[in-house]
Amino acid sequence: MSGWLLALLRWSSQARGFFARANPADLTDSDLVRCFYGDANFERKRRAEQLATEFGVPATAVALAYVLAQQFPTFALVGPRSIAEYRSTMTGLGIELNEEQTSWLDLRNGWNGV
């Protein structure tokens, strides 16, 4: 099997809108709540928003950049609800996250939550 490479097809890089609109007080989207609400994910969102501010882009762009920054082949499938969402997300193509930033977004360092 040497020479084989398995790529990750990331189905929900936008996490059903989590990085754009999730609010712990808003429980109206039961699928979003069931799949993504949790302390770790809200910390990831907070960190994505912080990096987004530094880069001058929306958090969805940072989420896309994170998926594409992995050390293995990835394909990010995005499903924006409008042309404006598509355009704002695609700004992530111009962001190159380094290993420290991807580790930080993935909570591999600097977070002791549950």
pLDDT number for residue 114: 45
Q: Which residue has the higher pLDDT, 86 or 49?
A: 49
The rounded mean pLDDT for the chain is 84
Q: Which residue has the higher pLDDT, 85 or 55?
A: 55
The Cα 52–Cα 46 span in angstroms is 10
One DSSP character per residue, 40-70 reads: HHHHHHHHHHHHHHHHTS-HHHHHHHHHHTS
| Mean predicted confidence (pLDDT) in 86-111 | 88
Q: What is the three-class DSSP state of 76?
A: strand
Q: How confident is the model at residue 6 (pLDDT cuts 50, 70, 90)?
A: low
pLDDT tens for each residue of 14-29: 677 888 889 999 999 9
In a 13 Å sphere around the CA of 3, the CA atoms on its Cβ side amount to: 0
